[in-house]
Structure 1
């Protein structure tokens, strides 16, 4: 015989109105939700802190040097103190930072040998002209970051605008714009950059223009692909039906939806621009002397690698840390903006 179920068990549960209206999880915007996921990525968070420290040092680091007074720039040459190894106060018994150098198989106190005034320290050594390497490394980092960020902004503006127009308009316009991209991308970047540097006067602006000439192509293609995927969505078709103009649709509807991809590509393009500038300076096509950048410092240090290895070591370490930090941050942003990675 089937067991009977009491009628009282079918009564709805009584829930207080305050409990029914309670939101178990606060509402978050897209950026707030992305930031929470970035914070869970320890590598990206540490890289963000490291990059922030490097940026602060790039702005103010040269002023911390004990050898640069108010009337001395980073290019000040103190020739009697040329080719001094690194020496840091309090590290007298630690190799590499005690002012000693191996000369002819013997450990020599170079500061004492050159009669350097007591209390004078070159934290990262001096170059062959007596210039403070600590100040020049941070000044060079600032120049490299400026070149990379401005080139990335040009990449952002030109590439995003070109890709969105090409993808949204479509048809013959899209075909013509894509054929132009294919012609430009068929020419090697290095050839374009060398030609631009031969036409323009050497300097920061010429390198920015040379890098920006071809760096936007990848951004344009990525944005075009995203716009082609989104332009047939219902919210875009509804805007077209209501008579919204093309610029408003691009800015108000499509741009926010491709912002994640744009940010990720910009974060990847910055270290690429820094490395490309360093490469140009290393092969002698970069900034003219005495302007310092990470590439020119590595080039100067390479010439004296066997005698003064610290001249190439420290700028190379700074360059590697910057590139690793930017790439880890970009990886973290890619995971944060990816809907498939949501919890």
Structure 2
């Protein structure tokens, strides 16, 4: 008598990366939604005001967004690690004045830009050390450094003010000129955006940021140097805030002790509206840049269609609340799907 083994039922287990692919897909849809809203808003405004998207109009839109895009890219990297930097507005302000003071005293504009970047990186390093090694909550640390940096700026700057007539003509012209409708500042911001996006997706240390944001405990168990990566994120954020400060000087040619005040809230709004989850681990710098472009475009769109600009702050707040609500809903839906996938995988193993 010949015994034959019962046929083995073949089952296909879910891919181990299915959850990650699902999350990526969800937040890419978020970015596409922001892009669609932006394009639709600009299109409607153009229909209402035929001169809105002229060459100069496009140039103004890009110039208005450049500074916010740069700071939002750095903020996005920090938020991806499940942290936040509320000191970026103060860092931008003091870096802008440092660059202006250097140029005003006869220094090279290039050296002034490097000085601003170095100053921003130094404050970012301070934040990173306190958050990663001091184990102090990021909200508390960066709120403290916000006031510390603002206080230092108030003492150092005082009532002084740097204006465009005290800056080299070439430096001021660089802040306004460009190639056709694309300003040089926008090209710089785009280059930074592409480099940051490539780093986060293509380098292990960049991908580690997402792992830390998803679960710091799991990242530690996986051997990821969590403290070093968080500190790197803060240094990068501070350096970009400093760089944005130098470009702010070139763009507006006017810096005083109040420069950058309240800017941190706009930056956080741009990042969250752009699809970077405030709970960390999801989103991209491209989404943050789209969020920044959307918020700055609203400032131009409202006056163009005859709506008072006093509504800008209220609209930004509504967008922020909607983005947080959407993040929460998506997080619950994704968690539900991942639980079902895990249950299917367990069933497949026992089958």
The two structures have a TM-score, normalised by structure 2, of 0.34
More helix by share: 2
User: Which protein shows a greater Rg?
Assistant: 1
The structure showing larger relative contact order (alpha-carbon pairs under 8 Å, at least 6 residues apart) is: 2
